[in-house]
Amino acid sequence: MDQPKILITGGTGFAGSHLIENLLAQGYKDIYSTTFGSSNPSPQLLSSNHYLRVNLVDGAATAQLFEHLKPNWVFHLASFAYVGKSFEKAAELFTNNIGLQMSVLEAVRIHTPTARVLTVGSAEEYGIVPSNVEKIDESCLLNPVNPYAVSKVTQDMLAGSYALSYKLNIIRARPFNHIGTRQTGDFAVPSFARQIVDIEQGKQQKLLVGNLSGVRDFTDVDDMAKAYILLMEKGNPGEIYNIGSGINYVMSDVVKMLSSFATVPIPLEEDQTRLRPLDVPRLIADNKKIVSLGWQPTSDIKPALKNILEEWRKHSI
């Protein structure tokens, strides 16, 4: 195959590291990732000189990166994700998420205007949808209910405006919830898994939970990574694509599935500190648009849940 030079922003994170693995598995080789901070990426999937340390909020540094590297494909995953704590961290969220979006879009416009760019938004952009909407398609009005979601809407709209104004090859993804190994304990499913392991080991008595009545759409992170690659290969510039399984999962049922893999009984307790000012009751993807390109998600999330639990057991050793 012709080998594009690939840049992944945020390639050392949860979804980004799985994206690198899937790109390598599909035969792509010329891959670079941004990294931020002093710690080495883990796992290190690329050679050390393919991890490029840069603060993407710094417009000059980002421009220098694009001018030097000249990527053909840009998977723009980098973002600060504080959903549960987004009101507490609203100023930080906006400074970072809007700043890095502007830096990347400007660098693409000036230095790599012919590159194909995938920008990654969030299903949180849709927020609370009308009660008669069972599955959310790309035309659904955006109604974000927390600062994180508002920052993702702003990123998304900036990407759309640059695509229209400068005729850039930008494809916009709106992923729904995705799960798998390497996701931090700040998110619901790995938080449940970490607590279950603590209960198994006698370090904790009960699984502390927030509102479990919400209905969510979960996708295995490797399926999500495959969707990102497919959109880069076949997606239409200027278009928006929802990525999700289209399957309803009540959060209480997800907790039950995880708990069924535990070695001891798992009692629950509602923790008031885990409740948000407003929870989106339902976020389920209408995925017809990306499925029409050939994407097929895994229908069973139980293997992913088992892997997450096993990962936290290894962490605790």
Residue pLDDT, tens place only, 80-114: 887 767 788 899 999 999 999 999 999 999 999 99
Looking at the chain, list the stretches that DSSP marks H as alpha helix, in order from N- to C-terminal side: 14-25, 59-69, 90-111, 147-166, 188-200, 221-234, 251-260, 288-291, 302-315
Q: Which run of H or of E encompasses 35?
A: strand 31-35
Return the sign of the alpha-carbon dihedral for residues 112, 116, 120, 125.
positive
pTM over 0.85: yes
Whether 9 contacts 104, CB under 8 Å: yes
- The CATH code belonging to domain 184-216+248-283+300-315 is 3.90.25.10
pLDDT higher for 52 or 82?
52
Q: Is 8 helix (H, G, I), strand (E, B) or coil?
A: strand
Stretch 112-139: mean pLDDT, rounded?
A: 97
The mean predicted confidence, pLDDT, of the chain is 94
Pick the CATH number of 6-178+219-243 from 3.40.50.360, 3.40.50.10860, 3.40.50.720, 3.40.190.10: 3.40.50.720
* pLDDT above 90: residue 288: yes
Rounded to whole angstroms, how far apart are CA atoms 120 and 33?
15
* Among candidate residues 250, 180, 229, the one with its CA nearest the CA of residue 25: 229
pLDDT above 70 as % of the chain: 97
**Chain position carrying tokens 């927020």:** 127
Confidence of residue 199 (pLDDT cuts 50, 70, 90): very high
* pLDDT tens, position by position, 233-273: 999 999 999 999 999 999 999 999 999 999 999 999 999 98
* pLDDT above 80: residue 73: yes
Structural domain boundaries in the chain: 6-178+219-243, 184-216+248-283+300-315
Rounded to whole angstroms, how far apart are CA atoms 138 and 100?
24
